[in-house]
Chain A
Amino acid sequence: MTALLDVRDLHTHFFTRDGVAKAVDGISFSLQRGEILGLVGESGSGKSVTGFSILGLVDAPGRVVSGQVLFDGEDVVTAGEGTLRHLRGKRIAMIFQDPMMTLNPVLRIDTQMIEAVQAHEKVSRKEALARAREALVAVGISSPDERLESYPHQFSGGMRQRVAIAIALLHKPDLIIADEPTTALDVTIQAQILAEVQKLCADSGTALIWITHDLAVVSGLADRLAVMYAGRIIEEGTTAEVIGRPLHPYTKGLIGSVPQGKRHGTTLTQIRGMTPPLLDLPKGCKFRPRCPRADDQCLTEPPLGPVAGGRRVRCVHPHLEDQEDAVLS
């Protein structure tokens, strides 16, 4: 079976006055139907730009410089605007970070949802409205008729995000790209939304790319994880493996900085320093200046090499010894 989405060596660069910012610098991954991929990384690591590149919505001064994004066998990068319009919203939907901003404040919910339906299908208003109502029920919104007649400002953040998800689901897309959709929400609402999305994806067989900086969120949701750093994927594998036995020092650091109840009283491990500015990346491995294991070998950048068990890691000194410990214990 061919993959639903196959990203091959994608480069998206931003041509700014101060130089070329390589926001996405050669990433490859693929996604099967119904699979949930967690794309993890700090701010500025290129996660969101990856999402926009897949939809062909990178704004100037940014541009996809090279690489392929094969969606169902078709290259999105070289596709014309007509093909892209057919994909957007219909086969690939997107959910954004801030639900306060993604709904138009001056239009009623029904107007916005009907518009979304009619953008791709020639159906009557009435039929579109019925579809909208159905989608709202699916995301757990009660009294959908009243909700449809409301304006976004009458909703709480969680409700708005539900509406945004409902809009994304209107056309039963093959792929949903969710760009930190729960970051702006309370933890309790976050948990509800997560459960909801997981259920919806399982029911409809929709593949999902969940972009986040929060490992705790994706650890319970994603089938596979890809960790990004400075525009590259530095580690990829199944969620259980990446979380349980991280290979890259950066991944290990990330996991170490998540507060956990059972480690009460101990200081959290921190990753030294800051994400390097994209215009001034260090030579060799991009994580080298912050890495506790770095030495002279790290001055040449390692490739994203395969490790046992279908995992890939971009590191000269991966934490393989933990792997052995785990096998022994």
Chain B
Amino acid sequence: MTDQSVASELELVGNPATVRIDSPITRVAKEFVEDRIAIAGLILIVAIAFVAIAAPWIAPQDPYDLAQLSILDGGLPPGAESMTGQTYWLGTDQQGRDMLSGIMYGLRISLLVAAVSLGLAITIGVVVGVAAAYFGGKLDSFIMRIVDLQLSFPAILIALILLALLGRGVDKVILALVIVQWAYYARTVRSSAIVERRKDYIDAARCLALSHRRIMFRHLLPNCVPPLIVVATVQIAQAIALEATLSFLGVGVPITEPSLGLLIANGYDYLLSGRYWVSLFPGIALVLTIVAINVVGDRLRDVLNPRLST
């Protein structure tokens, strides 16, 4: 072939150096910011995450240092001043604990539990799901029947049984959440991987004799990521809510490391006797967190799914 014909073909295609084609990530980011509510949600998530991480440095009080608490400040309404002149913007609980600080520390536990369980569940789910789709056959049937079995029980039921057996503790709640959630990721990854598995580039990779592990995690997995991101955002909101539920019911985190759910449970007895703030403010924090994550998740689903965009 002559150089000229190559050159003419190149002109038709466009030179990659001059024609800027956005990478997939840039495209998704551009589409994402078109929705104001989603941006608000994202800002809220970032703010909440910041508060949770920085709680020990920005909270007015360490709510679990008994030396800082005064029982005389117990049950103060929002905006009241303590005897030392400190203002409790969100009131105090019956032990004289500043609710604002309590919520900041509570968020910390809630998000920690959700994030760690998300990471572990995704790792397990992805490995199992990709392996099932790639190898197929009996392994696939075996794994997917376990997934079916698990998904046929309500998540809260499995978590309750597990925690009843294991006892309380942050690590145990995380374990329960991982066991409840891995199956969602496994099913999501497997369903998209099984579509990708049939495409020629996987056959091509096998023709090159790349290792199974390499084909699974470098070729198959990256093509299955978009639906995984969507499921992960929905599931992290679920994880936060589930942890709050378990803690509210008294089987979750221990009383020494209270999460939002436990704070809500603490004020539950006083809810109808005038001290609404003890339950209300942690409740609002929980709702805001979950709504923000869901809003962002919805938007991500829209921009990652080409069939929904017009």
Contact = CB atoms under 8 A, between A and B. Distances in A.
Contacts of A88: 206-209
Interface stretch (A4-12, A18-26, A153-161): A153-161
**Chain B at the A interface: mostly helix, strand, loop or mixed?**
helix
Nearest to B19: A154
Contacts of B219: 104, 107
A57 B203 contact: yes
Interface in A135-184: 140-143, 146-147, 149-151, 153-156, 158-159, 164, 167
B136 A149 contact: no
Contacts of B23: 151
Interface residues of B, number: 36
Contacts of A96: 200, 203-204
Interface string B210-224: 110010001100110
A306 to B, nearest CB: 34
B1 A140 contact: yes
Contact of B209 (A60, A86, A156, A158): A86
Contacts of B218: 107, 115
A46 interface: no
B16 A89 contact: no
Contacts of A143: 10, 15
A132 interface: no
Interface string B183-209: 000000000000000011101111111
A107 B217 CA distance: 12
Nearest to B201: A104
A214 interface: no
Most B CB contacts (10 A, CB to CB) among A85, A102, A103 go to A102
B298 to A, nearest CB: 24
Given A98-B200, A103-B201, A106-B222, A156 B9 contact: yes
Contacts of B149: none
Contacts of A155: 13
A119 B16 contact: no
A195 interface: yes
B137 interface: yes
Contacts of A142: 3, 6-7, 10
B204 A150 contact: no
A133 interface: no
A106 B196 CA distance: 12
B16 A154 contact: yes
Given A101-B200, A107-B219, A89 B13 contact: no
A120 interface: yes
Contacts of A196: 1
Contacts of A93: 207
B209 to A, nearest CB: 4
A120 B137 CA distance: 28
B84 interface: no
B67 interface: no
B141 to A, nearest CB: 12
B5 interface: yes
B308 interface: no
B83 interface: no
Contacts of B137: 60
Contact of B208 (A106, A107, A116, A150): A116
Nearest to B136: A60
B272 interface: no
Contact of B200 (A85, A102, A158): A102
A55 interface: yes
Contacts of A192: 1, 5
B208 A89 contact: yes
B21 interface: yes
Contacts of B21: 151, 153-154
B210 A119 contact: yes
A247 interface: no
A42 to B, nearest CB: 21
Contacts of B13: 154-156, 159
A62 to B, nearest CB: 13
A159 B9 contact: yes
A150 B210 contact: no
Contacts of A90: 209
Given A55-B207, A101-B201, A107 B6 contact: no
Interface in A62-85: 84-85
B183 to A, nearest CB: 25
A208 interface: no
Contacts of A85: 209
Interface string B15-46: 11101010110000000000000000000000
B16 A146 contact: yes
A88 B219 CA distance: 18
B13 to A, nearest CB: 5
Given A94-B204, A96-B203, 14 more contacts: A57-B207, A84-B209, A88-B209, A102-B200, A102-B203, A102-B204, A106-B222, A119-B208, A140-B6, A143-B10, A143-B15, A153-B21, A155-B13, A156-B9
13 contacts: A60-B136, A89-B207, A96-B200, A104-B223, A115-B208, A116-B210, A140-B6, A149-B16, A151-B23, A156-B12, A164-B204, A167-B204, A192-B1
- State the 4 A-B residue pairs at the shortest beta-carbon distance, nearest first: A89-B208, A101-B200, A88-B209, A85-B209
Interface of A: 55, 57, 60, 84-90, 93-94, 96-98, 101-107, 115-116, 119-120, 140-143, 146-147, 149-151, 153-156, 158-159, 164, 167, 189, 192, 195-196
